[in-house]
A and B are shown apart, each in its own frame.
Chain A
Amino acid sequence: MGHFKATHEMDVMIEETGFDDHFHDHHHGDKYQSSFIGHYIFSMDHKIIARQFLFTGIFWAIIGAAMSIVFRLQLGFPEESLAWLKPVLGKWIVVNSEGIGTLAPEFYYALVTMHGTIIVFFVLTAGLSGTFSNLLIPLQLGARDMASPFLNMLSYWFFFLASVVMFYSLFLSTGPFSGGWTAYPPLSALPQASSGSGAGMTLWLVSLTLFVVSVLLGGINYVTTVLNLRTKGMTMWRMPLTIWAFFVTAILGILSFPVLASGFFMLMCDRGLGTSFFLSEIFIEGQALDYIGGSPILYQHLFWFLGHPEVYIIILPAMGLTSEVLSVHARKPIFGYKAMVYSILAIGFLSFIVWAHHMFMSGVNPFISNFFVVFTLIIAVPSAVKVFNWITTLYGGNIRLNSAMLFAIGFVSMFISGGLTGIFLGNSAIDIQMHDTYFVVAHFHIVMGIAAFFGMFAGIYHWYPKMFGRFMNETIGKLHFWGTMIGAYAIFWPMHYIGMAGVPRRYYSFETFDAFAHFDDMNKFITISAIVVFAIQIMFVINFVSSIWKGKKMTTRNPWGATTLEWTTPIETGHGNWDGKIPVVHRWAYDYGKDGKDFIDQVTPMAEGEVPGDH
């Protein structure tokens, strides 16, 4: 033991009951954090890396959301002039002789594509899982850092590189990739088919390949850390649900992203080397191409073999964060902890055998769809268990309705609304009509877009003090919640009706078709709602940034009265997380309201004759 003298009662307890891993014995100061660059830029500290992921994620979220506002303006107000956007979007706004500016259809599709790519990968994968896995896995497990801090650093910097490449592609003269975030060939393979399929697609592929590297480096680290660096007493069954969620998420990522990468490599070969993995019998621009024998459906299989686990890669961390936040602020153990864990595992497993439900109408053998319908709808069962367990967690609680808790409740509401529409779409017969309509747009935005954002917001409000030593402004936080909750439903609820009417997604204009042209009012309403929600997110960002310096200071280590280990570290948590010994865990993470006590943290030893909470 070095020169550490415990004064805080928690430190004293850790010194008494903790485990000495001799972490502080051999170096004075911190070799990792000796310079500004080492500390803040090429940092190997998981807490800094978490913040790097978060800041980059927020940056991308603003861009991705702003893009959606531009294309929503086109859909809601196709007749209004967009000439005022000319200074930003340049040649993509075509101004006619009367000064009326219209969004070029090519760029509309580029915006839709980039919106999807950015939000799915950069915001809800890197920004959400990257942030909280990094922040919480070592802290909640009682580890000094990740198993490999160096790989962890590389994970962020590969993401950063991916971001730079993608950002650069936005400024190409041929425009960024515009063939949809799923990038189905032949559209994505042939530069003749769409202007964005030229250099834009090349950069898209490069960027996402770098991104896959980032996810794999991160994921291997998360899994290794969870398996090997749990502190003494932290059995798997004592881990908080956040960790279970991150753990399964990381496994899903490791198993599925390489398949996506292989699909990308084959697509690159088709684009550059003249192979025919995905292309066959194509006649385009007056020319019959040489490709023969490939199948575009093969790409779809490879894509969705990632793509479906990907939606759980997005939603599982949000579920984990929600479970934790609900439990802490309801002052109650999460209901049915083991059932929650088994649900996560079941969802994780099932997510690998349902991918073709995205392809019912893509020309696969209809017989095969039978299996995918069955597996898909089975997912409803563990999902239902989770929802009922969250609701029962609230039952009999003593609920603090702060911003974090509100977003956690909002998550459950969104997950119910969006999850139930999945039961329609998972049934292939209904999907015949609903596939690629606005019903699908409504479904996945609510269940994995809005819900995941809600989980992320709950996490940010809850762990903000841990990250920055200050609180975010509560009043703005509540406004943020109400605006987002009402606004998100206002945006996506009407889309169900538009979808039932049969209106297809990814339409630049609805005027061509009589069947799709009569929802102007609803489209205006949706666009206005989207603008309002966007403004409210800007308010959140201002709150987020200004609170770093001006937020209310954190004066106690454990402001929420939580049981988990991250709240046992000093307010200014340095490298290595605990100044002295590392804490030893004596109980599960959910002893709230037990034996008449508000909470008992995990480091407190069992009293004599005490029955474990998770018996």
Chain B
Amino acid sequence: MSGLIAIIIVILLAVILVQLGRVSDLAAKIRGEEKVEQQGNDRTAFWLVIFMIVFLIGCVVSAYYYKDVMLGYGPHQSASAHGGDLDSLFNVTLFFTGIVFILTQILLFWYSYKYRYKKGRVSKFFVHSTSLEMVWTIIPAIVMTFLVVKGLMVWNSVMPDVGPEDEVLEIEATGYQFAWDIRYPGKDGQLGTKDFTKIQPGYNDLGMDWNDEKTHDDIVLSGADIIYLPVDTMVRVRITSKDVLHNFYLPHFRVKMDAIPGLPTYFIFTPTVTTEEYRERLRDYPEWQVPADPTEPDGPQRWEAFDYELACAELCGTGHYSMRRIVRIVSLEEYNEWAAGRTSFYYDNVRNTDDDPFKGKLLNSEIKNRKRDLNKAFNNALSATDEAAKTIRLEHVFFATGSATLEDRSKYELNNVADLIKKNNVTVELAGHTDSVGDDAGNMSLSEARAQSVLDYLLNKGVSGLSAKGYGETQPVGDNETEEGRAENRRTELRIK
């Protein structure tokens, strides 16, 4: 309601002013128009000069007052390696344009004042002057050339893509209405393929293609997770979008690039100031020495609560203004520690589910890692003295359900075992175990049959000195009440004698 009243007042004011104008025009008629006009003209000329002075002083004073938001000043310094160049280019431009601004505004208003109408004066017939016009063509041209050259030097140092020799951490930001998904490459340092047709909302939100083994170690940050990046490390952000245009905008790092569906873009930058260091920097400024939350005067101060922010800078719909994520820049050690604590989306959520194209198959990486682990375990077992340490669980030996037939993929493990036994020339016992489901006798014979299957396979590979034994459900290592426990118990072991 108050707004409505305000508007009515404004309209009434306008009407009053219109009437005042009419009255003053009438008054002018009465007092003799020419004289009034001359006086009015002088008055207007005077006010133009006053305006010019107040305006220019206002510009300078306000610029000083707001110096802390100016690029490259006070707390508003860039936190990335390239940002400083941008800021200095901005300030060089400000210097030149500032001079032109002040000079031209002064001349414009001063001439309007100085050459105001005087009765009987005939103006100068000054049509053109080639030399003057040359001056104000050439000088701007020189200044522009300088700014263009300087600008392009900065641009071409910031924008080109990384070369093959560059050490770079590549992460991926995917914009959608209205948030960002962030993906890290995991141990292999490479982001796996994704495909928008493979997106499963609430699960595989990025549409990662599990056929590409590079996706298997990729780490996806969930909703509100903070984006961690190591300081002084070149970061290449691969920027993509799922639906409409977005823009990956990190104001403190002078980073900005559109996110486009179907067309990945990138921005490369090197953070140079950790979040902690930036907070320390802000600490010196009074506007940052106030409570972060005004309702909690004793809470943390603004500088303590400071965080780098990721925003969207391309209109993307109703929630455009809310696509915030926190970015934290930490030391390389802290980053590595943080990264080690992340687990891959694939192993957490996908491996051996129906969505996994490698379900029931061993991945190359798993075979490789297993070989390494097996070698290690075998060497340990050779030098061990107690019975438990001489026992190695054959992780990658699989049987068809309820039968003693070896699955094809068991060959990697068994070939490795064969090589190890031959090389070290030891005698081993192969032991089969089951869980407690089903009757004891059945389990016993199944475990024996399975141990025998393994033995047969190894014999085939020319290994000697083997024996096989079934233990049924008599030697559980896990809790038979739970599915995990039963899985633990179903196993084939190798004991060095």
A residues in contact (CB < 8 Å) with B: 73, 80, 82-85, 105-106, 109, 178-180, 184-187, 190, 193-195, 279-284, 286, 288, 292-297, 330-333, 335-339, 361-363, 366, 369-370, 373-374, 377-378, 380-381, 384-385, 387-392, 394-401, 406, 409, 412-413, 416-417, 420-421, 423-424, 427-430, 432-433, 435-437, 473-479, 482, 485-486, 489, 493-494, 497-498, 500-502, 504, 506-510, 512-516, 518, 531, 534-536, 538-539, 542-543, 546, 550, 552, 590, 592-598, 613-614
Contact = CB atoms under 8 A, between A and B. Distances in A.
Contact of B309 (A366, A385, A515): A515
Contacts of A363: 257-258, 260, 263, 265
B111 A186 contact: no
Contacts of A369: 155, 159
B457 interface: no
A401 B111 CA distance: 12
B44 A493 contact: no
14 contacts: A282-B243, A294-B262, A330-B115, A381-B141, A428-B151, A429-B154, A436-B247, A474-B25, A474-B40, A475-B20, A498-B69, A513-B311, A531-B6, A592-B125
Given A84-B4, A384-B140, A427-B89, A180 B243 contact: no
Contacts of A388: 104, 132-133, 136
B471 interface: no
A280 B261 contact: yes
B251 A105 contact: no
Contacts of A536: 14
B405 to A, nearest CB: 41
A282 B261 contact: yes
Interface string B76-110: 10000001011001100110110011001101110
B126 A542 contact: no
B115 A394 contact: yes
A531 B10 contact: yes
Contacts, number: 389
A401 B45 contact: yes
A109 B322 CA distance: 14
Contacts of B111: 391, 394-395, 397
Interface in B112-159: 112, 115-118, 121-129, 132-133, 136-137, 140-141, 144, 147-148, 151-152, 154-156, 158-159
Contacts of A396: 115, 123-124, 126
A507 B319 CA distance: 9
Contacts of B76: 500-501
Nearest to B41: A401
* B interface, size bucket: 35 or more
Query: B interface, by DSSP: helix, strand, loop or mixed?
Result: helix
Contact of B263 (A297, A373, A590): A297
A378 B311 CA distance: 33
A377 B117 CA distance: 37
A429 B137 contact: no
A292 B307 CA distance: 39
A528 to B, nearest CB: 11
A566 B121 CA distance: 26
B321 A510 contact: yes
A186 B144 contact: no
A427 B88 CA distance: 13
A385 B130 CA distance: 12
Among B40, B123, B156, max chain A CB count under 10 A is at: B123
Contact of A493 (B51, B62, B320): B62
A336 B322 CA distance: 52
Given A288-B199, A387-B104, A427-B148, 14 more contacts: A186-B245, A282-B262, A296-B263, A338-B128, A361-B247, A373-B155, A394-B111, A395-B126, A424-B93, A474-B21, A497-B70, A498-B69, A535-B11, A538-B10
Closest CB pairs A-B (n = 9): A280-B262, A396-B124, A502-B251, A476-B21, A366-B159, A281-B262, A475-B21, A427-B151, A501-B69
B213 interface: no
Nearest to B143: A380
Contacts of A535: 10-11, 13-14
B243 A186 contact: yes
Interface in B156-200: 156, 158-160, 176-177, 196-197, 199
B316 interface: yes
Contacts of B71: 433, 500
A387 B17 CA distance: 34
A97 to B, nearest CB: 18
B256 A433 contact: yes
B347 interface: no
Nearest to A543: B18
B315 A184 contact: yes
Contact of A409 (B48, B89, B152, B313): B48
A543 B15 CA distance: 9
A109 B318 contact: yes
Contact of B244 (A190, A331, A336, A424): A190
A351 B11 CA distance: 41
A474 B36 CA distance: 12
Contacts of A105: 318-319, 321
Among A297, A498, A515, A536, max chain B CB count under 10 A is at: A515
B338 interface: no
Contacts of A475: 20-22, 24-25
Given A374-B148, A381-B144, A396-B126, A283 B242 contact: yes
B124 A427 contact: no
A513 B309 contact: yes
B26 to A, nearest CB: 10
B320 A282 contact: no
A484 B55 CA distance: 14
B116 A432 contact: no
Contact of A370 (B121, B123, B124, B155): B155
Contact of A398 (B70, B108, B115): B115
Contacts of A477: 21
A513 B311 CA distance: 8
Contacts of A613: 125, 127
Contact of A397 (B96, B123, B156): B123
B121 A398 contact: yes
A233 B322 CA distance: 63
A473 B96 CA distance: 41
